[in-house]
Amino acid sequence: MKTIGAQLVLQTAVLAIAFSGACRAEDAKASAVASKDVQAKLAYCEVCHGVSAQGFHGYYPIPRLAGQQTEYLENQLHAFTEHRRTNNIMFNVGHVLSPAMVAALAADFHDLDPKPLGGAPRGLVATGKRIFEEGIPSGNVPPCASCHGPDAKGNGPFPRLAGQVFDYVSSKLTNWDKERGQDPKNPDTSAIMEPIAHGLNEAQIKAVAAYVSYLE
């Protein structure tokens, strides 16, 4: 019964991807880029971000893009090119993308829904769930759920965290103010997370990263 269910889901997913592709060709935003160019660029992104954009352990942990909020994805690509977010590789990647290509890529990644990569220590999940849902009031850490949503799916500029790669989330929270909001003349939404990342200790970061990494 379970197998039949899984097959059905898979077939539906394949159909969904096939149909969404067909619709997107007529989408107004993406119309400025040829579909074959978008497909080639997607394949290029997926070399590092995983074949279904589920994230990948390269030399660095490379984040999941699948199911990500389009607004967040677009913001981040701009952040790389404007040196608000430091990452030399992603600066070069983002630098050559037209606005229409950025929109088309973000829409495509948003629609993908592969299983999480997994691999985080299971023992940390329970603590992580509590931090995610309740925060750490004594440490002035608000519940993550209040902005990222109870399912960690994110919303607009707030990123989806569900299924995000464990060591990617850990490394972002640990290095927040060294990587984000790096252009004082051009402050951005990353400032919201700064005191929160600062308020979490290493064990709490790992716990919350483990919890969200398993969410589908």
Partner 1 sequence: MRGFDAIRTGGKTTASSLRRIDSKPRHDRSKRRISGAVGFALPIAFLAVAFAGVCRASDANTVAVGGIQAKIAYCKDCHGPSAQGYDGYFPIPRLAGQQTEYLENQLRAFIEHRRTNNIMFNVAHALSPGMVSALAENFKGLNPRPIGGAPTQFVAQGRKIFQDGVPDANVAACAACHGPEATGSGPIPRLAGQLYPYLIKELVNWGKERGQNPTKPDTSAIMSPVAHSLNKSEIEAVAAYVSYLK
- Site residues, partner 1 (CB under 8 A): 10, 14, 40-41, 43-44, 47-48, 50-52, 54, 56-60, 62, 88-89, 92-93, 95-96, 114-115, 117-119
- CA distances in angstroms from 200 to 22, 88, 181, 211, listed in the order given: 44, 27, 19, 15
Give the whole-angstrom CA distance, residue 146 versus residue 132.
Answer: 9
Q: How far is the CB of 59 from partner 1 (least distance, A)?
A: 4
Q: How far is the CB of 164 from partner 1 (least distance, A)?
A: 14
> Residue 170 or 204: which CB sits closer to partner 1?
170
Number of Cβ atoms within 10 Å of the Cβ of 51: 10
Q: What angle do CA 76, 81, 82 make, to 5 degrees?
A: 90
Instruction: Determine how β-strand 61-62 pairs with β-strand 56-57.
Output: antiparallel
> Residue 64 or 84: which CB sits closer to partner 1?
64
Number of Cβ atoms within 10 Å of the Cβ of 83: 12
> Residue 16 or 191: which CB sits closer to partner 1?
16
**CA 87 and chain centroid, separation:** 16
Structural tokens at position 99: 């606005």
Q: How far is the CB of 54 from partner 1 (least distance, A)?
A: 7
Q: How far is the CB of 43 from partner 1 (least distance, A)?
A: 5
Task: Name 123's Cβ contacts closer than 8 Å, sequence gap at least 6.
Answer: none
Q: How far is the CB of 96 from partner 1 (least distance, A)?
A: 4
**CA 93 and chain centroid, separation:** 17
Task: Name 13's Cβ contacts closer than 8 Å, sequence gap at least 6.
Answer: 113
Q: How far is the CB of 65 from partner 1 (least distance, A)?
A: 13
